[in-house]
Copies of this chain bind each other. A is one copy, B any other.
Amino acid sequence: MATDTRERLVDWLQDAYAMEQEAETMMKAMASRIEHYPALRGRIEQHVEETRSQAAQLAGCLEQLGASVPTAKGTIAKGMAAMHAAGNAMMKDEVAKGVGISYAFEHMEIATYRSLVIAARRAGEAQVAATCEAILAQEQAMADWLFENQPAVIEAFLEREAADVTAKR
């Protein structure tokens, strides 16, 4: 049975909505635990706000297409949650792992929105494509920030750890 591109677009928008819900949950938890890396904490908190707005925009796209906004979390989001859970509070190097996991998560989001832009264009949904392009730019900016700031976080972490002061968060 053929799946037309409009159906696929709706599916992917619903997946993206679930992904952003999960992202919000995980980033909030991560930011609340960070004590000694204020720049990182601040940027994550900013991205939590962006993420909330992104989820609202995705819900708007789904409504515009006459589709439902998902209530349950998708499988990808659950897999991501497992990945985040694995990299979280248990670890002595929580902040170092957290930066890596966040960087990976942003690239999952980047890949997701790039696919959505293609699907939206093929389905003739220019407004959905424009929304997804705007969200993509925010994800790319967050990924770029993490890339640029990772060395400073890692240096600070190693320095604190070697000096025997709280380093993990």
- A binding-site residues for B, Cβ under 8 Å: 1-5, 8, 11-12, 75-76, 78-80, 82-87, 90-93, 96-97, 99-101, 103-108, 110-112, 114-115, 118-119, 122, 143, 146, 150-151, 154-155, 158, 161-164, 167
Chain B neighbourhood of A93, CB < 8 A: 8, 11-12
User: Closest 9 CB pairs between A and B?
Assistant: A79-B86, A100-B111, A2-B164, A104-B108, A82-B82, A79-B83, A107-B107, A75-B86, A104-B104
CB-CB nearest in chain B for A80: B83
Contact A161 B114 (CB under 8 A): no
Main SS class of interface, A: helix
Q: Given A79-B87, A82-B82, do A114 and B151 touch, yes or no (CB 8 Å)? A: yes
Chain B neighbourhood of A164, CB < 8 A: 1-2
Contact B118 A155 (CB under 8 A): yes
Contact A85 B79 (CB under 8 A): yes
CB-CB nearest in chain B for A152: B118
Contact A90 B75 (CB under 8 A): yes
CB-CB nearest in chain B for A123: B158
Chain B neighbourhood of A162, CB < 8 A: 2-5
Can you add 19 more A-B contacts, CB < 8 Å, to A12-B93, A104-B104?
Answer: A3-B161, A5-B161, A8-B93, A76-B86, A76-B101, A78-B86, A79-B82, A79-B86, A80-B83, A82-B86, A83-B83, A103-B107, A103-B110, A103-B111, A106-B107, A111-B146, A114-B151, A119-B158, A122-B155
Contact B2 A161 (CB under 8 A): yes
User: Can you offer 5 A-B residue contacts whose CB atoms are under 8 A?
Assistant: A5-B162, A79-B87, A82-B82, A107-B107, A122-B158
